[in-house]
Structure 1
């Protein structure tokens, strides 16, 4: 996997690569929401708790598929409130290597499937050759 963080002539980045080159089978992870294993919404008024739960859910799904967060090549992030962006970036950097960030799209949305959800993230990852 090769992370093309900021090619010459491209704008500055904040925690993502402009491109990621990889080979091998791909794993697509459905968008994860801030719900725990018992189906309870986490952190209804706590964006950081919701973001952490979403990364926990992503890690769980990736592990079940034979890969992990460090193998993510693309994230798509949906936030209902851009005031949560700093929390997202800080927590993302706790889970992903800031030196090898995935490509990323971030979209502000008017709402998600449940009115208490503040964030939803889907991911594409490469399946390591040894898997």
Structure 2
């Protein structure tokens, strides 16, 4: 039977009222809820995206992995015109890994009519695996 464990991350604490988990480790897979930059007042789309990616990094590292374990991102934006800034942030975040011979994670980006708080422009769900490194991808 596959074990399921909740990820308790100091940098990304679960909200006290939460009816969800920020991240679960299911066997070798890490499944993460959508992460936002809340509170994000005054942050650009690029800055929000970087903040979210750092939260994802913290969750993956707490679970025992690193950015090379991230296999897929699902990105939600409130304005499709922001895709360029999201892409710029993704490149900056994963560039060191890619320059070392790794691959970018798979990704989907979609526009939505709104997110949970009005100042939010981007939300990202992520999946990772503890038993792989994207550096091995050809």
TM superposition score normalised by structure 1: 0.70
In structure 2, the CA distance between the partners of 1:94 and 1:105, relative to structure 1 (3 Å rule), is same
1:31 counterpart = 2:34: yes
Moved more, 68-77 or 98-107: 98-107
Alpha-carbon RMSD across the aligned residues, in angstroms, is 1.8
> Is the counterpart of residue 104 in structure 1 residue 68 in structure 2?
no
Structure in which a larger fraction of residues adopt helix:
2
How many residues align? The count is: 101
- For structure 1, the 5+ residue unaligned runs are 1-23, 36-40
What is the Cα deviation at residue 52 of structure 1? 1.1
Aligned partners of 2:46 and 2:88 also within 8 Å: no
- Determine whether 1:77 maps to 2:80: no
Superposed, which structure 2 residues align to 1:108-123 within 5 Å? 108-123=111-126
CA contact (8 A) 1:28 1:124 kept: yes
Runs of 4+ in structure 1 deviating by more than 2 angstroms, as ranges, are 42-45
1:41-72: per-residue Cα shift (whole Å, max 9, x none)?
A: 13535111111111111111111111122211
TM-score computed with the length of structure 2 as normaliser: 0.66
CA contact (8 A) 1:44 1:50 kept: no
Q: Is the 8 A contact 1:48 1:88 kept in 2?
A: yes
